[in-house]
Amino acid sequence: MNKIIGRKQECSILKSCYESEKAELVAVYGRRRVGKTYLVKNYFKDEFAFYITGIYQGSKKEQLTFFNKQLCDYSKVLYPMVDNWFDAFDQLKHYLSTLKKDKIVIFIDELPWLDTPRSRFLKAFELFWNSWASDKSQIKLIVCGSATTWMMSHLLGDKGGLHNRVTRRMKLSPFNLYETEQFLKSQGIVWNRYQIAEAYMILGGTPYYLQMLQKSYSLSQNIDYLFFSENAELKDEYTFLFRSLFNNSAIYRNVVELLSKKSKGMTRAEIQTNLKLNDGGNFTQVLENLCNCDFIRKYSAFGKKERDVLYQLTDLFTLFYLKFVKNSNGRDEHLWSNMIDSAERRTWCGYSFEQLCLHHIFQIKNRLGISGIQSDVCSWNTASTEEHKGGQIDLLIDRKDQIINLCEMKYSINEFEISKKYDEELRERRELFRSISKTKKALHLTMITTYGLKQNSYSGMIQSEVILDDLFL
């Protein structure tokens, strides 16, 4: 089996579960391609008493047929085919009762796909766990699901027989930069951190996409091959990703594609108005599901009320796809290489680096030495009026120790140089924020850059710095 990269906390949870003296029902969830199956199978080295995975868009009969095949293979007993899940789980219970083991690990992957319409799968699963498995201390049942909406509503948020039955929940998120670097090294890819950051800004920290990179290609060649070549492997990934995660994927794509055009995000009301959607529970569910699947984030601007929260598209893969791939129509198989120094690519780099920084708030706080200080992370913006110009701060760390870090994020190939004009902009923005917010806290200007600041007559006004290397820690 392959080595597990990162995932230390998740492995610790699985270890604790395996060693516990009670029955465990562990729910592992997260969007497709983040490595849920890989983690579970490699941690337990495929040594399961029983393993099954749901079939994508499979019928009830197809799911039961595969369940029966797996049961016969693991038990070495020819169990007869059945036509309902209650009998299928009875057969599983019979087989597991014959095992004389201290630990019995069962892995049901893609659990939501087994729950086909009118199959009563969930009721049978609920009965299996509540009436038998939960009383067997040796049972360690791990279930996985990419359909996060199903996992949250039918398993983790269930109000019926499975209410509070899950003993451990584990959300698997994409890799951070450090884990991405380790993963690429394990694939024999040795790039500098500037290149790794750009790969992250395109693919996110999604292991499935990262393992497609070829070490014999440069980064630009890899992106051309994966997205723009004639048979590009990731050309249709966006559509498949949404279709596999959400039943009514069109509304989810509409929300995401609207947000991709509004860099600072939009309020709930603005999204509804633009898409002509009715206010209600379904729309609330759409926004919650997109947040749970790490496509968008919900955040508040400094000084704004709860009803004014903003929703912002932060998934890096989706941002790249919608910007460059969706409407490319195969016109240029070397599009990314040919855009190496284009204004469009530079603009994208700047915005994507801001999103990368938002994915690494923990590392930024750690570098600033404030990881132990309570703080709120938000943004701030104000429109132009007759009294003042407009202004925007994309990352603001409001600390309980009476300091606010006003963060500027700049992506450049060399040290970033503060010009006289930019120095004036920074000062004006700081004083505008002080005036409108009426804060009494100290305001620290913080620069987050790739290679640090070039020292000149204007760099002294910056109180703190974070560089790209700090985000890899």
Beta strands (DSSP E) in 274-374 are 296-299, 310-313
Query: What phi and psi, each to the nearest 5 degrees, are found at residue 293?
Result: -95, 10
pLDDT at 306 exceeding the cut of 70:
no
Q: Please determine, looking at this structure, whether the domain spanning 8-171 carries the CATH number 3.40.50.720.
A: no
Compute the mean pLDDT over every residue in the chain, rounded to the nearest whole number.
94
pLDDT per position as a tens digit, 232-258: 999 999 999 998 888 889 999 999 999
Mean pLDDT of 10-34: 95
Q: How far apart are CA 358 and CA 176, in angstroms?
A: 11
pLDDT at 305 exceeding the cut of 90:
no
How is the beta sheet containing 403-410 ordered, strand by strand? Answer: 375-382, 391-399, 403-410, 442-449, 464-467
Give the Cβ contact number of residue 142 at 10 Å.
26
Mean pLDDT of 34-62: 96
Pair 234, 209: CB distance under 8 Å: yes
At 1, the pLDDT band (50, 70, 90 cuts) reads: low
Q: How far apart are CA 238 and CA 251, in angstroms?
A: 14
Domain with CATH 3.40.50.300 in the chain: 8-171
Mean pLDDT of 410-427: 96
- Name residues whose C-beta falls within 8 Å of residue 191's C-beta, 6 or more positions apart in sequence: 184, 199, 219
Which two tokens mark 300? 């508040």
Domain with CATH 1.10.10 in the chain: 175-359
Give the Cβ contact number of residue 291 at 10 Å.
15
Q: How far apart are CA 26 and CA 169, in angstroms?
A: 6
Which two tokens mark 34? 């983040």
**Percent of the chain, pLDDT > 70?**
98
pLDDT per position as a tens digit, 173-193: 999 999 999 999 999 999 999
Alpha carbons within 13 A on the beta-carbon side of 193:
18
Give the Cβ contact number of residue 215 at 10 Å.
11
447 residue type, one letter: M
Q: Which of 384, 395, 379, 376 is nearest to 432 (CA)?
A: 384
Span 363-472: which CATH code? Answer: 3.40.1350.10
- CATH class of the domain at 175-359: mainly alpha
At 308, the pLDDT band (50, 70, 90 cuts) reads: confident
CA distances 203 to 55, 286, 307, 326, 360, Å, are 26, 23, 32, 15, 16
Q: How far apart are CA 146 and CA 37, in angstroms?
A: 10
